Amino acid sequence: MHRQIAVLAAAGALAAPAAAQAHVTLQPKTAQAGSFTVLDVRVPNERNQTSTVKVDVQFPAGFASVSYQPIPGWKVKVITTKLATPVQTDDGPITEAVSRMIWTGSRSAGGKIAPGQFMDFPISVQVPGKAGDVLTFKALQTYSNGEIVRWIGAADADQPAPTIDVTAGPLPAATNAAAPAATRTVVEKQSANDTLAIIALVVGLLGLAAGGGGLLVARRTQGGQRTSHGA
């Protein structure tokens, strides 16, 4: 009897971590501030006899640029809210941000997440905020029997909300300004070296010309001396 209890307890301990991981999450867990990236809303089915047929995700503030990947069997409804301050882009101002996205499965085979399965709902976004921020996406998961699981709690809750950690974005372009300056210094040094080489060449040519002139005068002098001796 004691041995059976120990075996059951061990089995329960092994199953607990697996159950704890069966949450609605966002993948990957981190994203760079200001970057354009693809996030997957990962939805596992936690029930043995019913399927997931609807996923409702609430976005934190600041998601002015969002698009979704179509998934066969699922319809998507995008809900937006007006921005207090429009976001200026190369294509013009953005006046609305996405506040919710709702995926609803159809009655086709692909419009559900069956027991033992999970599904990714990819979204392309520009990540708002700054390094160190934690962005929270509250989610509602609806099953075919009408049950709704609310993934809206804190990180240590039984039903935690999906989150991503914002990391530092790429360095601004101004940070790389030192590279052209270094290049200019090298070019200036090279130009100075070229100038010195040209001056040295000119001096050498002048010296050669002077030497040649002296040799010519010497030959003429010697020729004159020979002529006078002959006379």
Let me know if residue 8 belongs to a domain.
Answer: no
Per-residue pLDDT of the chain (231 residues; tens, 9 = 90+): 444 444 443 444 343 334 445 799 999 999 999 999 999 999 999 999 999 999 999 999 999 989 999 999 999 999 999 988 888 777 788 889 999 999 999 987 789 999 999 999 999 999 999 999 999 999 999 999 999 999 999 999 999 999 999 999 766 655 554 545 544 444 455 555 565 555 555 556 566 555 555 544 455 555 555 544 554
Decide if 113 contacts 140 (C-beta within 8 A): no
Cis, peptide link before residue 122, omega less than 30° from 0: no
pLDDT at 181: 52
Give the Cα separation of 93 and 111 in Å (integer): 36
Let me know if residue 226 belongs to a domain.
Answer: no
Decide if 35 contacts 14 (C-beta within 8 A): no
**Same domain for 158 and 132:** yes
Let me know if residue 43 belongs to a domain.
Answer: yes
The pTM is what?
0.66
pLDDT at 94: 87
Q: Provide the residue range defining the domain that includes 54.
A: 22-170
Q: What is the CATH number of the domain that holds 162?
A: 2.60.40.2230
**Same domain for 141 and 186:** no
